[in-house]
A and B are shown apart, each in its own frame.
Chain A
Amino acid sequence: MSKIIVKSLKYKYPLTEALALNGLTFQIERGEFIGIIGRNGAGKSTLCAALSGLVPHFFKGAYGGSILIDGINVKESKLSDIARKVGIVFQNPFTQMTGAKDSVTEELAFGMENLAIPKTEMVRRIDDALRLLEIENLRDKNPFELSGGQMQRVAIASILVMLPEVIVLDEPTSQLDPQGTEEVFKAIKRLSNQGMTIIMVEHKTEKIAEYADRVMLLDQGQIVAFDPPAKLFSLSNLEERGVRPPVFTRVAKGLDIHDQVGLYPVTLESTVNEVQKVYESH
């Protein structure tokens, strides 16, 4: 059964002439980890906004085609109803804090208060989310006193407590230091292992290659390719599309090391494997 069904999705922001999304059709299965890549301005953030209903409900503009998530039509639904199905996390951890709560637990409770979840249930979900993201020690801290990586995990947790089935992450680590980045990736990996559907925009293609089941390459609001990482990163014209393949793939391409069907390795493990095969054959 398909979870997310997108049909000829088109979208134009107000006051603009060009289509930011130009006829996207694809499906995403339950529990998949999808990576989205593409140059600046390719339409990645716009697609994220469309999957979470911000396009068109927040941005307005002109909309065509449809997105069905678990049977509900995004265009016909209210943002608050979509929020129960799809959670979204942005780049800047700072602007994602509500700014109206002075402890992490209260910050997490915000979305549930809006959805009228009873207090006992709130407490249970908050405990679960804090544990899953390894931020139990921060529960009484003021959200604005946290480091970027901690704050971003609070942002993820505050989405998680609303129990969405899909989490969309738009460059969640682009404003974090290396340590914060590592913390956040670990957290995302854990969510994926729990069976959550994850859709992540990310420039660090090594991470995409490591985590994603499939990768979507966007350019000028259109899908160029939507394939498993090994296949996608083996494409020859990626640099022209503004994408740098993982460092392993670039090395392997340089040495012309590939598997039987001609795909280049994309992760450390697969590179080591292929190199070993080459050694053994000599």
Chain B
Amino acid sequence: MTSISLYVDKKSIVHDVDFLTKLIYCCVFIVAPIITGAVILGTFSFLVSLILIISAGALKKLMPIAALSLFVLLSVIIIQSAFIQGYHDVLFTIGPVHFYREGLIHASSIVVRFLDILLAFSLIVLTTHPADMVETLQRKGLSHRIGYVILSVFQIIPQMAQTMKTISDAQRSRGLETEGNIFIRAKAFLPLIGPVVINSLIGTRERAMALEARAFSAEVKHTYFRDEPVYRYKTPVRLILLLLLIVSIAWRLL
């Protein structure tokens, strides 16, 4: 059973940092560039996150995430620099399409902001165990029922993907057409997804009963079997991050 979590199970100085501190990092490194509006600061934040991800040994898992956004970013650059009205300064021309300098500058600021947000989030997700994230939030007051939901999705999705493979093989061997023109393919959708969906929904009844049998609805303050991760430098690191935020606000105001 492969987990769908992006977590990279390694040891590094980034992994040692506790979830809340990383969360603060993420907020500061997203908010500060937006407040100051300086592209240079955005680029800087993005590079810092990248270096941290590399030093945590998680670059390989970052690649697919980045690849997913590549297409979108490309289309942003093309459309923003070539199709938005009101620009004059033509930088270059491909066929009938003019690319404007102002548009390209605007597009690059969008791209930087996007990458900055993407990497800041990725840093957390790649280097924090999901159970540690959820339990940290639970200790801070997140309902344990919601915590349960988040963690169980990580297991349920790979299971369903497995069932999905079995069922689609079975349906195909029964002669269901999954290739051809769009109508043929669209018609295949319901017979494929139906059984998986119905199965999983029927299973919810017994799982819910099993949870009740394990005191899921108890209204007491929980204890935790996993030990709470402690980070030695949490106070100084958090202070530095806060300071960064204050400086960027001050920069904006001055």
Contacts and interface: CB of A to CB of B under 8 A. Distances in A.
Task: Verify whether A and B have any Cβ pair under 8 Å.
Answer: yes
Interface of A: 49, 52-54, 57-58, 78-80, 83-84, 87-88, 90-92, 94-102, 105-106, 109-119, 122, 142, 144-145, 155, 158-159, 162
A214 B148 CA distance: 40
B181 interface: no
B159 A113 contact: no
B208 to A, nearest CB: 7
Contact of A83 (B156, B214, B221): B214
Contact of A92 (B144, B206, B208): B206
25 contacts: A49-B209, A54-B213, A58-B209, A78-B218, A79-B212, A80-B217, A83-B215, A83-B218, A84-B215, A91-B206, A95-B203, A98-B207, A99-B159, A100-B155, A102-B155, A109-B225, A110-B214, A112-B225, A114-B220, A116-B221, A118-B223, A119-B225, A144-B1, A159-B214, A162-B214
A246 B214 CA distance: 34
Given A96-B210, A98-B214, A100-B151, 6 more contacts: A87-B213, A88-B213, A98-B210, A102-B155, A122-B223, A162-B215
Contacts of B159: 99, 144
B179 interface: no
Contacts of B206: 90-92, 95-96
Contacts of B215: 79-80, 83-84, 111, 114-115, 162
Contact of A142 (B1, B152, B221): B1
B212 A100 contact: no
Contact of A112 (B203, B208, B223): B223
Contact of A95 (B131, B144, B207, B223): B207
Interface in B204-252: 206-227
A198 to B, nearest CB: 15
B208 A58 contact: yes
A166 to B, nearest CB: 12
A59 to B, nearest CB: 9
B3 interface: yes
A122 B223 CA distance: 10
B223 A106 contact: no
Contacts of A100: 148, 151-152, 155
Interface of B: 1, 3, 131, 144, 148, 151-152, 155-156, 159, 203, 206-227
Contacts of A94: 203
Nearest to B210: A96
Contacts of A88: 209, 213
Nearest to B129: A102
B150 to A, nearest CB: 8
A111 B106 CA distance: 54
A56 B211 CA distance: 16
Given A119-B223, A144-B1, A114 B209 contact: no
Sorted nearest first, the 8 A-B pairs with minimum C-beta distance are: A111-B214, A80-B218, A109-B225, A100-B151, A114-B215, A95-B206, A99-B152, A80-B215
